Amino acid sequence: MSSTKYILGLFADPDEMMHGIDLLQKNSVPIYDVYTPMPIHGIEAKLGLKDSRLGFAAFMFGCLGGTTIFTLAYYMLVHDWPMNIGGKPAFAIPDFVPITFEWTVLYTAFGMVGTFFYATHLFPGRTPRVMDYRATDDRFVIAIDAKGNTPHDDITKLLKEAGAVEVKHNDRKYVSYE
């Protein structure tokens, strides 16, 4: 039994990597994940990634922000301490528009980015789970779970055929752990 845990196909070119994904999928080799130094458009469709729901989250946070500040302003200036300023109404809706807008944007931004960090497990000081150090530099890496995906040589051959500049058989999942 081989001790290989993950097989990595390192590509130097994003188009060749896309070709690699096609080739692997045609041969029914499941792909664990793909790591790239830049966003690759169209890859999410190939890998069957669901559409992001962050837009919905952003919208809800925006509604929350706008409602919060408008309610606060109403409570403060109309309910708690109404002031008579030249006989004008205390509930001056047009004057509340700028702050309502600002907090809508503020909540949208922080809520959505917070959700993004939460959903993708990003937070300050998180130990990086890196499969190959060059994946953030100049290599486009296709990772394949080696367990159950045999024979490994066939996968290596497929990756090489697609144009991988290097194929790695890693015994550890993450190289970044000390």
Give Cα separations from 42 to 10, 84, 95, 139, 163 (angstroms).
19, 60, 45, 18, 19
Considering only residues 17 through 56, tell me which ones interact with other proteins, judged by CB under 8 A: 17-18, 33-44, 47, 49, 52, 54-55
CA distance 84 to 67: 25
CA distance 27 to 22: 9
Q: Is 99 among the residues that bind other proteins (CB under 8 A)?
A: yes
Residues 6+ apart with CB under 8 A from 44: none
Identify which of residues 51 and 153 has a Cβ nearer to other proteins in the complex.
51
Question: Which residue is listed with tokens 């944007």?
Answer: 105
Chosen residue from 1, 26, 127, 153 binding other proteins by CB under 8 A: 127
Tokens of 5: 């845990």
| Binds other proteins (CB under 8 A): choice among 7, 8, 112, 155 | 112
Helices and strands of the chain, counted as H and E runs: 5, 4
CA distances from 97 to 60, 69, 157 (A): 19, 10, 63
Among 22, 63, 71, 76, binds other proteins (CB under 8 A): 76
Nearer to other proteins, 82 or 154 (CB): 82
- Contact between 149 and other proteins by CB under 8 A: the answer reads no
Between 3 and 120, CB nearer to other proteins? 120
Contact residues toward other proteins (CB under 8 A) are 12-15, 17-18, 33-44, 47, 49, 52, 54-55, 58, 62, 72-73, 76-77, 80-81, 83, 85, 92, 95-96, 98-99, 101-103, 105-106, 108-110, 112-113, 116-117, 119-131, 133-138, 176
